[in-house]
Every structure is written in C-alpha cells, then in structure tokens.
C-alpha cells in the first residue's frame, strides 16, 4: 500500500494541501509502522466539493445500480480480507487471530447486510393521495474510531452507498491504515468519483471542519461522549443531522438462578475481548451480594487464562491497548479503584509480567465494588471488570440504570421469561439475554449519553435518508 501520505478525493489519490504528518504507532512494539499525512480545512473543502458534485448524479441512481455496486464491493473486499486484517493488527494491536476472524470479517458483514437490506427496503409509501418518499440526505461526514476500525467504517459507508448518499470519511488518526485499504477496495469496485472521499487528520482540525461545514448535510460520529458532544455543538450551527454512537458502561446482571460457573466465565471473557476496547463491553458484573465471594473465585480462575502478549503469538488472548495515552488513562483508573477501596482479585497496575515494551495492561478484576466508585462510573476502555453486589432483582435493575450511559446491557437467568422481563426494564439501546450474540441485521445504538440514531441493517439506513411528502401525487 503506497497511499499513506495521500488522500482519496474525487476518485484519485492526491497530495495533501498541508505538510503535517503523523507516525502510526504499533502499540505492541511502540514503533512507527507508517507515517500518514494530516489534512487541513482546505483538504476538507476539496473533499466536500467533490462529494457535493457527485451527489447530483449518484442520488439519482436506481436501487438496481446500487445493488450491483455493493455486490462488486463485497467481492473485492473478500480478496483484500488478509490485507485488512494485517492493517488492523498493526495499527491497533488486535491479536492476529482476532483480526482475521472478527475484526476484518465484521467489515464484510456490514456490506453483505446492507446489500440484503437494500433489496427489501421500502423507499416509498402511499398515504391517501400522498406519496411519502425517503430520499438520500446528501453529503455525509463520517468520523470513525480506532477500536473496531473496519466495523465502524463499514457500518457507515455501506448504508451511505446503499441509500444514494455521498461522503467524506475521517478515520481515527491513531488507526488509519485499514481505512486506506478500504479506499482501495472501493476504488477497485468502481465507486463513482466523488461518492467516497477520505481525508486523514485529527479531530480539532479535520473533524471540526467537517462537522461545521455548511455543505455537509449529516454527520455520523462514533467515539467518546466528550468528542461526540463537540461534533453535535459544531453541527448545530448549520442545523445538520448528527448521529452519534458513543460510550458505554454496560451492566451484566447475573440473576440468582443462573449457572454461575458458565455465565461468570462468559462475562469475564466478553469484558476482556479486544483488550476491553469495546463500547458495549459488559464492564459492570452485577451479582447477588450473597454470592460475591463465589463469583470472585470463579472470575479469578477464568482471568488467569487470559494471556496478554504479542499479537502474532498463537496463545495470545489479548494484545496491547491502542496507545500510550490510553494505557496511562487505564492505569490511573485502576489506581483510583484501589484507592477507593475496591478489592483487586486479579491484575492491577503496570504491565503484565515479562512484558517491558508495548502498551499492555494486566487483565484486571475488582470485586466488592459499589456503583459510586470511579471504576463503576467511568468508561475505562481497557481489560478491567468491576463486580458489584445487589440485594434483589429491583436493586439490580436500579444499579444497572444508575449511569449516564445507555448503550448495552446483559441479563442472564435460568428462567428465560424472567430474563425477558428484566431486560424490558433496562434503559439501554440493546440487551443480551443469556449470552446471546449481536445480530448485524438488528439496530445498534444507545440511550442517554451513549448517543442517538441507530446503525446496522435496515435501521442503519434511516439516518442517511430524508422523508418527503408529495401531496396529491395520486388521483383521488
């Protein structure tokens, strides 16, 4: 790949207008694997102009034309799957096997899901003599994070292409390499010039220029709640639509009739996956107070098998966290947990034994946590689990909902009907029952400060569409 210091604008790889660059650091080695160009407002203006010009024709394409385009994209993506996985592992430290079996395939999955949704989506409805039509919203600004880079890229790019929108993408400057591979994939698949544009850069420069740009009609942002708040503030100046998928502090309620051996193990591993760098990770495990010591012992035994290390090693379970800044933040929060009286039953501050280089965090579990502690309130975004006790079912629901976030939740019970009833009381955009997996056809998104709007499947189309009523379209 030779496009590290170029942007993809109007169907071409072009040189940046500025001279700033940034090293992309492999978090496993702390060494640079590439140097990217950083864009500025002029680069954003050029990309937006290309997207705006392309919208006139691309918005008028037929469903069949967009289906054919997405089919080509999926075929090219399959050929480049290995390159996508390698880029992800290098840029954000995912173990090679996780990159191959989950991170990279998630991107293909969103194109496949969007393709299936496009074939069935109802773009028009008749109400009396009125035609109600859903039309592409226009030029979309897409800002994506580093933790599941290809997943978050494609769950925005795929619905934008499917609905007839054009776009400007700013991937995370921390993990931009897989986005460059995606640009190559879209170019080879024949996405028309100007429909997809990519400008690398940081949030305060490129991100701010995009979210405030008068010719961007919609912003779709995934990242921290603080950054999402800034995107919404900037976007308010032009009353553009802003869709946000933000942080989480998801509760994992284990009811008193559950198989504790099985579901504690599942909860621990779900929290540790991807080095804990998932917005929907079940980072608060809620268990009966009477079972706290038992649960702690089970969790301690499970996490002992979670090996942190070289992403390319076969026995590695989790790799490093993404950056030095992230590592430092996690260490500070682990220290806060200790100082506030939580009991460390695994892990703790510092790197795992035998690792003196790389941004590795000890898989850490706290027991005897109360919901007022910092580690129970703040999104740590690392391999850190807090086990919190509750008195009864109502207390568990109260604790689960006592957070500013509302992205996801988890409820396990030996009685499925009981789990269903508790799930309906949880104020989150998603709830997993008894370890159920995500479904890419179902909506992904949250309540409260976890964002607004929904991604994935046909629900993910809605934020990219405007609704128009044409009165008198049909004869009475």
Which residues does the annotation mark as catalytic? 245
In DSSP terms, 25 is beta-bridged to 32
H/E stretch holding 54 reads helix 41-58
Residue 442, helix vs strand vs coil: coil
**CA 427, CA 360: separation in Å to the nearest integer?**
33
- 3-state class (DSSP) for residue 165: coil
CA distance 192 to 189: 9
Report in angstroms the alpha-carbon separations of 309 from 314, 348, 439, 441: 10, 16, 30, 34
Q: What letter does residue 308 receive in the DSSP assignment?
A: B
Find all residues with CB under 8 Å of 465, minimum gap 6, and list them.
123, 134, 135, 136, 137, 163
Q: What is the largest CA-CA distance in the chain?
A: 78
Closest CA to 369 of 296, 431, 263, 301: 296
User: From residue 313, how far is each of 90, 97, 302, 309, 453 by CA, in Å?
Assistant: 14, 9, 20, 7, 39
| Length of the chain, in residues | 476
Q: What number of other Cβ atoms are within 10 A of residue 425's Cβ?
A: 16
Q: Where are the beta strands (DSSP E) in 90-150?
A: 124-127, 130-136, 139-143
384 contacts 369 by C-beta, under 8 angstroms: no
Please say whether the beta carbons of 55 and 62 come within 8 A. Answer: no
18 DSSP assignment: S
> Are 452 and 244 contacting, i.e. CB atoms less than 8 angstroms apart?
yes
Distance (Å, rounded) from C-alpha 339 to C-alpha 395? 25
For tokens 């107070």, the residue is 289
Distance from C-alpha of 423 to C-alpha of 251, rounded to nearest angstrom: 11
Neighbouring CB atoms inside 10 A of 339's CB total: 10
């Amino acid at each position: 790949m030779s496009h590290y210091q170029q942007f993809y604008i109007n169907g071409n790889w072009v040189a940046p207008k500025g001279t700033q660059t940034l090293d992309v650091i492999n978090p496993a080695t702390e060494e640079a694997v590439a140097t990217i160009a950083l864009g500025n407002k002029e680069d954003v203006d050029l990309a937006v102009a290309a997207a705006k010009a392309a919208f006139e024709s691309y918005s008028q394409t037929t469903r069949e034309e967009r289906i054919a385009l997405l089919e080509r994209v999926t075929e090219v993506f399959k050929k480049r799957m290995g390159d996508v996985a390698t880029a992800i592992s290098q840029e954000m430290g995912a173990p090679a096997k996780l990159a191959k079996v989950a991170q990279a395939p998630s991107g293909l999955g969103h194109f496949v899901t969007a393709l299936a949704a496009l074939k069935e989506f109802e773009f028009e409805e008749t109400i009396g003599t009125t035609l109600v039509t859903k039309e592409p919203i226009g030029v979309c600004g897409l800002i994506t994070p580093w933790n599941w880079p290809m997943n978050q890229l494609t769950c925005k790019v795929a619905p934008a292409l499917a609905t007839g929108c054009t776009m400007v993408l700013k991937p995370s400057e921390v993990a931009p390499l897989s986005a460059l591979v995606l640009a190559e994939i879209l170019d080879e698949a024949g996405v028309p010039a100007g429909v997809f544009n990519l400008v690398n850069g940081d949030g305060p420069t490129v991100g701010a220029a995009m979210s405030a740009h008068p010719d961007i009609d919609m912003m779709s942002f995934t990242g921290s709640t603080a950054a999402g708040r800034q995107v919404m503030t900037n976007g308010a100046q032009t009353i553009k639509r802003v869709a946000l998928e933000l942080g989480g502090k998801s509760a994992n309620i284990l009811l008193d009739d559950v198989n504790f051996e099985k579901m504690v193990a599942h909860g621990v591993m779900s929290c540790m996956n991807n080095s804990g760098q998932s917005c929907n990770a079940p980072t608060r495990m809620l268990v009966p107070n009477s079972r706290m010591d038992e649960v702690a012992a089970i969790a301690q035994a499970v996490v002992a098998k979670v090996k942190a290390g070289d992403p390319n090693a076969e026995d590695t379970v989790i790799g490093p966290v993404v950056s030095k800044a992230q590592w430092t933040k996690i260490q500070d929060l682990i220290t806060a947990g200790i100082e506030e009286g939580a009991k460390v039953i695994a892990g703790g501050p510092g790197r795992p034994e035998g690792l003196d280089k790389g941004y590795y965090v000890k898989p850490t579990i706290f027991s005897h946590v109360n919901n007022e502690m910092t580690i129970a309130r703040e999104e740590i975004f690392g391999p850190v689990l807090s086990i919190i006790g509750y008195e009864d079912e109502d207390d568990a629901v109260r604790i689960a909902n006592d957070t500013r976030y509302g992205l996801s939740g988890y409820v396990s019970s030996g009685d499925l009907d009981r789990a269903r009833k508790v799930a309906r009381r949880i104020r989150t955009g998603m709830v997993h029952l008894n370890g159920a997996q995500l479904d890419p056809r179902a909506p992904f998104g949250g309540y409260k400060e976890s964002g607004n709007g929904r991604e994935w499947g046909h629900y993910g189309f809605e934020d990219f569409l405007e609704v128009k009523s044409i009165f008198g379209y049909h004869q009475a």
